[in-house]
A and B are shown apart, each in its own frame.
Chain A
Amino acid sequence: MITAEQKPIEEIRRMIEPYTSVLLIGCGSCVAECAAGGEKETAILASALRMAAKMEGKTPVIHEKTVERQCVKDFILPLAESIDDYEVVLSLGCGAGVQAVAELFPQIPIVPALNTGFIGETRDQGYWVETCTGCGDCMLYWFGGVCPLTRCAKQLLNGPCGGSRDGKCEVNPEVPCAWQLIFERLSAFNALDRLEDIYPPKDWSQKQGLGPRKIIREDQQRQET
């Protein structure tokens, strides 16, 4: 999933300050899972903004709505019914959600309420970790299911740097050295020989070669009747 965290409320308030009517749009997918922009967080932020405005003697219209997936056009199309009642949209979607709404409703300004983080996993309650970079050419077979591009601070593809200590990363002693994990997993499966070959330089054209990436699959497209 995509993780995110809410921006400081002062920053959000500065961005919406000129407007007297605001529609908050939450998202029920990834950012709900990481408790940043789901239905609950959207309601809490709306209340906090109302309260803060009231303290200053202002009474802006602040409404909220949460869609199931803010980054999917079909899920945000119904917003067309009411979106023009507001001067600004405050999105609690990830960066993709914010831009999907902006793309579909070019007539209304949009403000992000979240800082989008990374592709990661929920390791435990309240604990999310980054594990994938979305490089476009998955190498996890070679590294025993641990991605060095994402989890090694130096993105090393041919073994650990000289700085790991007691199996921890030199950059952050709370984080395990990715290469320690790779070593342990490959050892457990008798596959250490996978590390003997020199892994070639990464083909970054799969990620950034032609600007933003897209996938087009005709078999998935709506058929004209």
Chain B
Amino acid sequence: MGELAVTAECGPPKGADPDAILRKADLLSGKVDAINVTDNQTATVRMSSLAACSLLLSRGLDPVLQAVVRDRNRIALQSDILGASALGIRNILCLSGDHQSFGNQPHAMGVFDLDSIQLVQTIKTMRDQGTVLGGESLTKSPRLFIGAAANPFADPLELRVIRLAKKIRAGADFIQTQCVYNLKRFKEWMSLITDRGLPEKTNILAGVTPLKSSGMAHYMRNRVSGIDIPDEVIKRMEGVNKTRQRKEGIQICVETIQGLREMQGIKGFHIMAIEWEEAVGEIVERAGLLPRPSLNQDRGQFFYVV
């Protein structure tokens, strides 16, 4: 029986201050096994994920480099993969990226030269065959634990299952899901992917995000793509006094983790506390996920599974 993995997320600053990311990282230190560093999330210009990951490494933390295909073509992506491995980054999460029209650079060209599945496959080939796209050999292969995302809540469900199967076949060692509020729908998805034997072929981390307020719950449901928040969750948040809503958000998050723990096939949790890194420690503690096992000498395999 392996131990459940716990990861969290850290957004780089909209500026060049290294302390901004290190302050967030310090809040997460000892509470989680690895820390995702987002890549210009919401298509807004921020400190690069690669640089911020390097800062995390300097603190002895295990970063997960998020890499979106929106901004870089296959030459730049493969180059960054080699650079990441050279810096000692051992985990990468391959994403499409939020569309450029949502951020502060709506006039940018969306690159999308590869899609996220092709990126997973490209990294796997670089790592396992020692070649770049096109077949040319590398002098040294990158060493990376490869991840991808899945959204159990988007339509059509059947296509979500096909897409997950493809991601796993492409080489996804781990999968992070969109944040779970709707356990019923998540269960339905788990049952479909279990029928195809997918959970045992990868490591599925269920995503959770604590709600700060009922306003945030409404905003996420109505304005953020791919998020499914059921009415009863919204009602619970609305049902408590504004000053107690953060507490309620953490409570819902802890209960969600407990619900997910009972499901077969979940290997851990990815806690996305958006601009609220302080909450992560309390969530992992109350969910009974502390203490975290001491980090492996060889960083990058944050799943302590047998």
Chain A residues close to B by CB (< 8 Å): 153-167, 170-171, 179-180, 183, 192, 195-196, 198-202, 204
Return chain A residues, CB-CB under 8 Å to B226. Answer: 161-165, 170
Given contacts A180-B156, A201-B74, contact A158 B166 (CB under 8 A): yes
Taking the closest CB of chain B, its distance from the CB of A193, in whole angstroms, is: 9
Asked if B191 is at the interface (CB within 8 A of a chain A CB), the reply is: no
Assembled-state Cα–Cα distance A180/B158 (Å) = 11
Q: Tell me whether chain A's interface is mostly helix, strand or loop, or mixed.
A: loop
Chain B residues close to A by CB (< 8 Å): 70, 74, 96-97, 99, 101-102, 110, 112-118, 121-122, 133, 149-151, 154-156, 158-159, 162-163, 165-166, 169-170, 178, 225-226
Total number of residue pairs linking A and B with CB closer than 8 Å: 94
Given contacts A171-B99, A198-B121, contact A159 B154 (CB under 8 A): no
What are the 10 tightest A-B residue pairs by CB atom distance, in nearest-first order? Answer: A163-B225, A162-B151, A159-B163, A170-B225, A162-B226, A158-B117, A155-B112, A156-B115, A161-B96, A163-B226
Taking the closest CB of chain B, its distance from the CB of A205, in whole angstroms, is: 11
- CB of A179 within 8 A of CB of B159, answer yes
Assembled-state Cα–Cα distance A90/B191 (Å) = 64
Assembled-state Cα–Cα distance A186/B210 (Å) = 38
Return chain B residues, CB-CB under 8 Å to A167. Answer: 155-156
Assembled-state Cα–Cα distance A161/B94 (Å) = 12
Taking the closest CB of chain A, its distance from the CB of B196, in whole angstroms, is: 11
Best-buried of B114, B121, B133, B169 by chain A (most CB within 10 Å): B114
Taking the closest CB of chain B, its distance from the CB of A155, in whole angstroms, is: 4
Given contacts A158-B118, A170-B226, A201-B133, contact A164 B154 (CB under 8 A): yes
Assembled-state Cα–Cα distance A200/B74 (Å) = 12
Given contacts A156-B96, A165-B226, A196-B165, contact A183 B115 (CB under 8 A): no
Return chain B residues, CB-CB under 8 Å to A157. Answer: 115, 118
Residue of A nearest to B114 (CB): A201
Best-buried of A160, A162, A165, A198 by chain B (most CB within 10 Å): A162
- CB of B149 within 8 A of CB of A159, answer no
Residue of A nearest to B150 (CB): A162
- CB of B163 within 8 A of CB of A198, answer no
- CB of A158 within 8 A of CB of B101, answer no
- CB of B163 within 8 A of CB of A183, answer no
Which of A158, A171, A180, A195 is within 8 Å of B115, CB to CB? A158
- CB of B166 within 8 A of CB of A183, answer no
Best-buried of A171, A180, A192 by chain B (most CB within 10 Å): A171
Return chain B residues, CB-CB under 8 Å to A171. Answer: 99, 101-102
6 A-B residue pairings within 8 Å (CB atoms): A155-B115, A156-B115, A158-B163, A161-B96, A170-B225, A170-B226
